[in-house]
Amino acid sequence: MFANSLRIDEGAVEGKVYEPKTAASVAHVWMPPEIKAEVEFWRLASGESVSSDVFIFPSDHGRAMNLRNYRKRAFLPALEAAGLKGITFQKCRRTCGTLMLNGKHGNLKDVQGHLRHAQASTTLGIYVQQIPESVRAAVESLDNTIFGAVEENQNSVVN
């Protein structure tokens, strides 16, 4: 295992463990130091083994957690408390891919590797939403026109 990575070599859905769809899905996923520290803290605080062959977030019985239960008991209440209703795991993955590529935090192959896709076409065609620089500039220009006018009007009222 690499020092700051997590090896993904199986998946779990509805409490059942399965083999990954493709060989590309079996990979080390980089964890920033902050995330690694949080995972290590979680394992120590929860009394879980730090062995690499156990689930990071097991069920109460040590088996694969049922994703539906986690979504209902933890994920959705946390989103609701943050005012973020409607977010799904899939939307999180797509947002991650889009922000990584459009924010120039890596190239297409980097994003493909992080999302563990076998084909770059899956990453680019389904997960990443391209936001051309010209569109960004146009939206920011409109924002400046609207909010610049609002700020000018607010300043003139105050003066």
| pLDDT at residue number 78 | 92
| pLDDT at residue number 23 | 78
14's torsion region: left (phi>0), alpha (psi -120 to 50) or beta? left
Contact assessment for residue 85 and residue 97, using Cβ atoms and an 8 Å cutoff: no
| pLDDT at residue number 1 | 47
What letter represents residue 14's amino acid? E
Q: What does the pLDDT look like over 123-134, one tens digit per residue?
A: 999 999 877 889
Spell out the domain ranges in the chain.
1-86
The three-class DSSP label of residue 11 is: strand
> How far from 54 is each of 23, 48, 129, CA to CA, in Å?
21, 9, 35
| pLDDT at residue number 100 | 92
Per-residue pLDDT of the chain (159 residues; tens, 9 = 90+): 467 887 788 877 776 788 887 777 787 888 888 988 888 888 788 776 656 567 777 777 777 778 888 888 888 999 999 998 889 888 999 999 999 998 889 999 999 988 988 899 999 999 998 778 898 889 999 999 998 866 655 555 444
CA 147 to centroid of chain Cα atoms:
31
